[in-house]
A and B are shown apart, each in its own frame.
Chain A
Amino acid sequence: MAELWTSYLWPVLWIVIKILMFVVPILVSVAYLTYAERKIISAMQMRIGPNVVGWFGLLQPIADALKLLTKETVLPTGASPVVFFLAPMVTFSLAMLAWAVIPVNPGWVLSNLNVGILYLFAISSLGVYGVVMAGWASNSRYAFLGAMRSAAQMVSYEVSIGFIMVTVLMTAGTLNLSALVEAQSEPLFGFLPGWYFIPHFPMFVVFFISVLAETNRHPFDLPEAESELVAGFMTEYSSMSFALFFLGEYANMIMMSAIVSILFLGGWLPLYDVAPLNLIPGVVWFAAKIAFCLFVFIWVRATFPRYRYDQLMRLGWKVFLPLSLIWLALTAGFLVYFDKLPA
Chain B
Amino acid sequence: MIAATLAFYLFAGLAVVGAVNVIFQRNPVHSVLWLIFTFFNAAGLFVLLGAEFVAMILVIVYVGAVAVLFLFVVMMLDINIAVIREGFLKYMWAGLLVGGILLAELITVFAAWTISDSAEGLRAAPTPDPSAMSNTEAIGQILYTDYIYLFQASGIILLVAMIGSIVLTHRTRPGVRKQIISEQNARRPIDTLEIIKVESGKGLQ
Contacts and interface: CB of A to CB of B under 8 A. Distances in A.
Contact of A125 (B60, B136, B179): B60
B75 to A, nearest CB: 5
Contacts of A121: 56, 60
B52 A113 contact: yes
9 contacts: A80-B29, A83-B33, A113-B52, A119-B56, A122-B56, A122-B60, A126-B59, A129-B36, A311-B179
Interface in B54-84: 56-57, 59-60, 63-65, 68, 71-72, 75
A254 interface: no
Looking at chain B's contact residues, the main secondary structure is helix
B52 A158 contact: no
A6 to B, nearest CB: 15
A136 to B, nearest CB: 5
Contact of B65 (A83, A125, A175): A125
A249 to B, nearest CB: 19
Given A114-B134, A122-B56, A155 B68 contact: yes
B53 interface: yes
Given A80-B27, A83-B30, A128-B68, A115 B56 contact: yes
Looking at chain A's contact residues, the main secondary structure is helix
Contacts of B33: 83, 133
A109 interface: no
A136 B75 contact: yes
| A83, A115, A121, A129 interface centre (most CB from chain B within 10 Å) | A115
A155 B65 contact: yes
Contacts of A314: 181
A118 interface: yes
Nearest to B64: A125
Nearest to A155: B68
A151 interface: yes
| B30, B64, B65, B134 interface centre (most CB from chain A within 10 Å) | B64
Contact of A83 (B29, B57, B64, B179): B29
Nearest to A158: B64
Interface string B89-114: 00000000000000000000000000
A175 B57 CA distance: 13
A164 interface: no
A222 interface: no
A136 B65 CA distance: 18
Contacts of B72: 132, 148, 151
Nearest to B178: A310
Nearest to A154: B68
A80 B30 CA distance: 10
A161 B70 CA distance: 22
A113 to B, nearest CB: 7
Interface string B148-181: 0000000000000000000000000000001101
B73 to A, nearest CB: 11
Contact of A175 (B29, B136, B181): B136
Given A80-B30, A128-B68, A129-B68, 16 more contacts: A114-B136, A115-B52, A115-B53, A115-B136, A118-B60, A125-B60, A125-B63, A125-B64, A129-B36, A132-B72, A136-B29, A136-B75, A151-B68, A158-B64, A158-B65, A175-B134
A122 B64 contact: yes
A234 B136 CA distance: 39
A126 B176 CA distance: 34
A21 to B, nearest CB: 23
A114 B52 contact: yes
A46 B20 CA distance: 59
Contacts of A126: 59, 63-64
